[in-house]
A and B are shown apart, each in its own frame.
Chain A
């Protein structure tokens, strides 16, 4: 299957700093990328959907000024958690789609963020 990478896999930062997470589709061009957040024992919650070259569409309740998403190319999307706080600590996972249906949505391995 297609490969999606995320970097970093784990990050620890101080409260107030900003953290950037990269999501790359390694062997296909992703027309759409998704960012999810997962709390312990909870489901994957969709945060935003981004299409290359356009602004991301954020889900209700997700602060777009706090979670900045950039989808600059067909193989790269970034999520920046600005002015991170301990409550932002979570597991962030991206997925990339080639646009041919839900079975073609490929997930990255996720990034564990811990804000101290």
Chain B
């Protein structure tokens, strides 16, 4: 039951360009969305989040966009830096789930080339 989907397993961009990572969800009860970043041999770390009452949230080089009608969100990183190379997980929560119970996508491996 893949309620959160990241259809691109990998993405490669040039340093300085924009990285766009996409995420789709199926459960309309989700009301909070998060992006996590994961380096090898480390656990995922929280990056940025957005509530369903918003359509955009920005934090420095990172911006998350939410399109509720399309059940789609995206993470934009601009400008991309080599240190951004990692696996990015999209997560969603809400509805009948516990407050901290989240559903994750499979992740997208971002490679930023110098």
Contact = CB atoms under 8 A, between A and B. Distances in A.
A11 interface: no
B13 interface: no
Interface residues of A, number: 27
Interface string B97-113: 01111111111000000
A39 to B, nearest CB: 9
- Main SS at interface, chain B: loop
A106 B42 CA distance: 11
Contacts, number: 63
Contact of B43 (A32, A45, A46, A109): A109
B98 A49 contact: yes
A43 interface: yes
Interface in A4-59: 4, 6, 9, 32, 34, 36, 41-46, 49
